[in-house]
Structure 1
Amino acid sequence: MSDDTVRLSDGTALHVVRDGPPAADVTVVFVHGYALDHRCWQYLVADLPAAVEHPVQVVAYDQRGHGASSTATSHTATVEQLGDDLAELIEQLAVGSVVVVGHSMGGLTALALRERHPELFEPTDDVPPKVAGLVLLATGSGERAAEARAATGLAVESSTSRIPAVINKLMWDLESLLGPALVDFVTDRSHKAMVTSMRWSLFGDDPRQDDVLLTLRMIRHHWPKTMALFRTALDDYVRRARLSLPEGTPVIGVAGERDRLVPEQQVAALLDGIADATTFVLPGTGHLVPLEAPALILPRVTAVVHAVQRRLREAR
């Protein structure tokens, strides 16, 4: 994987990691969830190139306001903006067709892409559509918009709360004095209640300790500012999330059996009525399915990629 930067039309810089031939017929774009970054895909992006029959380009990126990408503002911290960002990224990086793999908020980004850029999903003159397949992990629709509230157990209810601001200042002061690696060590080992709460909220029966600690580190990087910025927009969007797709577009929904934030009923509800949609429930897994169950997700992503590759061959 190599690091890259995609500069958007408003000047925002998106941090991107990519692998495989840039001119591949299919590019797979991985879109992470709320308060995470591209590292949540580390297992899948490493294994996908060897799992598919024909070469693909693999792209994972940090969404606006997350990871090493540019910060968001109160005006740009919206799911609609994230959908526009994804459209620009696809335009710049993908020569051929695209399969979007979205986790949670990343799945909502894919829905916003469909809502705001429908032309990308429509075939024209026997030419396959630009966005030709979707895999939606822990992505649903409904009134239970609890992801932001439960993400760490920290209950970031308001950007005006003094307690998060005090704790956040302390964390950054520690980092300036001790360095990020040592602060990670201190928080990983000292905040047992935080780790326990986050593990219960986000994971299933038997997560790997390294994955729990990686998730804690990703969330710590985004708390409280980014989490507060995206909280309202995320809650609002998931309540009204809808998806319709052109006939023949392969789409797979994946739910974790132990997911306390997006239950399997919400995943099924989102895909209800889409003829070519399939929903899978992964036993014993929670919300962080890209880290918990990559071996179970990889065949689903591969199946969609192969379906798109077959469609491209038939079109020729």
Structure 2
Amino acid sequence: MSGFTLPDGTALHLECQGDPQGSVTVLFAHAYAVDHRCWQDIAGVIPTAVEWPVRVISCDLRGHGSSSRATESTATVEQLADDLAEVIAHAAPDGSVVVVGHGMGGLATLALGQRHPQLFARHAPDQPARVAGIVLLSTGVGDVAAEARAATGLAVEGSRSPPNLLSKVIQDLEVVLGSRLVDLVTDRAHKAAVTAMRWSMFGEDPDPDDVVLTLRMIRAHWPETMALFRPGLDAYIKQAQLDVPEHTQVISMVGERDRLVEPEQASALLGTDRADELIVLPDAGHMLPLERPAQVIPRIVAAVHATHRNQGDAR
């Protein structure tokens, strides 16, 4: 793991794996109210699944996980896109990048293409673009950010008490029982919250541990981060666009049973020109990184291989 401080003083938490000298970097950007742990079944596999050395970076976006807090003015998709550009410049200063974005991270990837088109441009016919490909998971265009609204409701239902009171109770339990037992008590006691999480965020027959992990991550961002980012997500998703050059690889994946981003919304984002890039996963819900790593990994590997081949062609 490593840290990186943005120009405005915000510290981002980065998890780096693979070969730091790899000519291709895979950059993971997580969804709203979760953190880098959502990639736990994918990020560590990529370096061994790819035929050439590859650098892998999973970041906690601004205001999430172990990164610094966001503010009312910085809790926007556009700011997250600028942050991703800084991460690329700092942690992947050379070679090509494949950005993998889930939910809000997918929207930030779209904004990256709009706000930093130079990263996607080929500055010479024989020179690959810095961002050679994007993989969008559970990302679409819609009237409201259903991901934000659902997660906020689940956090409220999961707490069942004011945030300050809940925190005090957990701290007292930790003194008496220890942190591992506190995790067990707070995660398993609220069966209704776990059931709601399974229905809202997952498809058919999810792993119970994945459901509990998602509930933990969402609760960890309640209430400050979740309240800060909801307006920005609601505003951005209404005008989300795929605005990247034709030579940019694009892969989009969505769950057939995603109740937050329906396949039609993912299709509308791609438009007719990229319609063939959409993959709908049967029986899957919104949390594709946890639900369907076996289907997601090969698509990322394919994007990395194509990027590496294009680098060879350019040479």
The bucket for the TM-score relative to the shorter chain is over 0.9
- Go from structure 1 to structure 2 and tell me whether the alpha carbon gap of 1:199 and 1:165 turns closer, same or farther (over 3 Å shift): closer
CA distance in 2, matches of 1:238, 1:221: 24
Residue matched to 1:310: 309
- Note the C-alpha offset of 1:307: 1.0
C-alpha separation in 2, matches of 1:46 and 1:247: 30
1:149 aligns with 2:144: no
CA contact (8 A) 1:204 1:287 kept: yes
Instruction: Using the TM superposition, give the Cα deviation of residue 167 of structure 1 relative to its aligned residue in structure 2, in angstroms.
Output: 2.0
Cα distance in 2 for residues equivalent to 1:172 and 1:207: 28
Contact 1:31 1:106 in 2 (8 A): yes
Give how far 1:170 is off: 1.9
| Mapping for residues 98-113 of structure 1, pairs under 5 Å | 98-113=97-112
**Is 2:168 the partner of 1:169?**
no
Q: Could you tell me how far 1:47 is from its partner in structure 2? A: 1.2
Please list every run of at least 4 consecutive aligned residues from structure 1 whose deviation after the TM superposition is greater than 6 angstroms.
none
Instruction: Return closer, same or farther for 1:248/1:277 CA change in 2, 3 Å cut-off.
Output: farther
Shift of 1:182: 3.5
Alpha-carbon distance in 1 for matches of 2:237, 2:89 = 26
Query: C-alpha displacement at 1:275, in angstroms?
Result: 4.6
Q: Structure 1 residues 300 and 210, CA, compared in 2 at 3 Å: closer, same or farther?
A: same
Q: Counterpart of 1:73?
A: 71
Rounded to whole Å, the distance in 2 between the matches of 1:155 and 1:173 is: 17
Residue in 2 aligned with 1:15?
A: 13
Equivalent-residue separation in structure 2 for 1:69 and 1:180 (angstroms) = 22
Mapped to 2, the partners of 1:146 and 1:98 lie a distance apart of 29
Percent identical: 57
Kindly state the Cα deviation for residue 143 of structure 1 after the two structures are TM-superposed: 1.4
Question: What displacement does 1:166 show?
Answer: 5.3
Which residues in structure 2 correspond to 1:200-239 (within 5 Å)?
Answer: 200-239=199-238
| Residues 54-111 of structure 1: CA deviation (Å, up to 9, x unaligned) | 1100100100000000001111101110000000000001121000000000001101
- Deviation per residue, 1:4-55 (Å, 9 max, x gap): 0011101111011011222211000010000000000001112111111111
Contact 1:203/1:285 (CA < 8 Å) preserved in 2?
A: yes
* Aligned counterparts of 2:287 and 2:186: Cα–Cα separation in 1: 20
Structure 1, 227-236 or 165-174: larger mean CA deviation? 165-174
Query: 1:274 Cα deviation (Å)?
Result: 3.9
Q: What secondary structure, in the 3-state scheme, does the structure 1 residue paired with 2:289 have? A: helix
Query: Is residue 250–residue 277 contact of structure 1 (8 Å, CA) maintained in 2?
Result: no
Contact 1:83 1:113 in 2 (8 A): yes
Superposition TM-score, scaled by structure 2 size: 0.94
Give how far 1:181 is off: 3.5
Specify the alignment match of 1:247 in structure 2.
246
For 1:1-316, list aligned pairs within 5 A.
Answer: 3-94=1-92, 95-126=94-125, 127-151=127-151, 153-154=153-154, 167-177=162-172, 178=174, 180-275=179-274, 278-316=277-315
Change (3 A) 1:166 1:189: closer
Contact 1:77-1:233 at 8 Å conserved across structures: yes
Unaligned segments of structure 1, at least 5 residues? 157-163
Q: How far is 1:303 from its partner?
A: 1.0
Query: Matched residue pairs, number?
Result: 309
Alpha-carbon distance in 2 for matches of 1:155, 1:214: 13
After superposition, the Cα gap between the structure-2 partners of 1:282 and 1:244, relative to the gap in structure 1 and judged at 3 Å, is same
Q: Does the CA contact (< 8 Å) of 2:155 and 2:218 recur in 1?
A: no
Deviation for aligned residue 1:180: 4.6
* TM score, norm. by length of structure 1: 0.93
Read off the aligned partner of 1:142 and give its amino acid letter: G
CA RMSD of aligned residues (A): 1.9
Distance in 2, Cα, partners of 1:54 & 1:81: 33
1:276 Cα deviation from its structure 2 partner: 8.7
* Distance change >3 Å, CA 226–CA 120, structure 1 → 2: same
SS in 1 for 2:42: helix
Check 1:277–1:23 CA distance in 2 against 1; reply closer, same or farther (3 A cut): farther
Task: Encode CA deviations 1:163-206: one digit per residue, 9 max, x unaligned.
Answer: x8952112221233216544322221111111111110000001
Q: Distance in 2 between matches of 1:188 and 1:29?
A: 30
Structure 2 residue ranges without an equivalent (≥5):
none
Q: State the distance in 2 between where 1:207 and 1:152 align.
A: 21
Residue 153 of structure 1: how far off its partner (Å): 3.5
1:75 aligns to what SS in structure 2? coil
